[in-house]
Amino acid sequence: MSSAEDLRGYLGRLLGWTNTSAIDHALRSIELAREHRAQLVLCGHGDLVPLAYGLHRRALGADTPFIVCDPRRGNTPASVRSPANYADAATAFEAAAGGSLCVRRRRPPHDFSSLVARLRDSCQVQYICLDEDSLQWLVRPGPIEVPPLTDRMSELPRIVDEYVLDAIVEVAPPRSLALTERDRQWLIEHAATRGLSEIEKAALRLVALRSSINMSHAAARLGMASVSLTRWAARGRLPTYSYPASAA
């Protein structure tokens, strides 16, 4: 489990470092969820799973399970890019024992009603619900609402820098990494217009690319197909880069 300072700092990244009232509110919500006295509801636009995963790692610890239950994704193992997913609610619940189970309200599993009943009686699983509309939730102390990045343009450079540091830890580059100012500016201009989750994804892929001997090596470290990574880089017009002859 991370320190209270680290958790508060991550909430600042999500909500705004100067938005102390929202951070304090989020800390109360997380504490209630830790004690299994309330569900943790995370609201906002875009893919909220990476944000929920970040909260989980800092609130419960990276060694505790974080399971997503999304019937559209099927059964997929955890990777550098994403947490494990189970389509079946019962299977997801068992896998999440001692950790967190994450469900999208707009995409619940087919046996969701039975899952809710089990969650109410369990002290072993923390429940995280993702939703774009916080108004339909009557929970206390209330949902954690992630504001749009358009309201936080002045904080974008700091947000990008923190996600790059996270990516370096996650990917564990085998050699020294040298992101250029052009790379950083690309992250700010390209990924940041699409939300926090896109910044996190882009930073992870960029760090893998810049610290690998070639595209195939980077894709393998990320657990994705080389052609998919190549297409992603081309679509985003990633700054050109000359790969080294070998890696340490």
38-67 mean pLDDT: 91
Helices (H), 16-129: 20-34, 49-59, 89-95, 112-121
pLDDT tens-digit readout, 138-176 = 555 678 999 999 899 999 999 999 999 999 988 877 666
pLDDT tens-digit readout, 27-49 = 999 998 888 888 888 998 888 99
Domain boundaries, given as residue ranges, for the chain: 4-147, 150-235
- pLDDT given at position 75: 93
β-pairing, 100-104 vs 40-43, is unpaired
Q: Yes or no: say if 132 and 43 are a contact pair by the CB < 8 Å rule.
A: yes
E strands present in 59-188:
66-68, 84-85, 100-104, 126-131, 144-145
Residue 181 falls in which region: left (phi positive, over 0), alpha (psi -120 to 50) or beta: alpha
Q: Is the dihedral of CA 231, 232, 237, 241 positive or negative?
A: negative
Torsion angle of C-alpha atoms 29, 31, 35, 41, degrees rounded to 10: 30
- Omega into 141 within 30° of 0, i.e. cis? yes
Proportion of the chain above pLDDT 70, given as a percent: 91
Q: Give the pTM.
A: 0.88
Tokens representing 86?
């189970």
156 burial type by CB count under 10 A (0-12 exposed, 13-18 middle, 19+ buried): middle
In CATH, 4-147 is 3.30.70 = no
Distance CA 210, CA 187 (A): 13
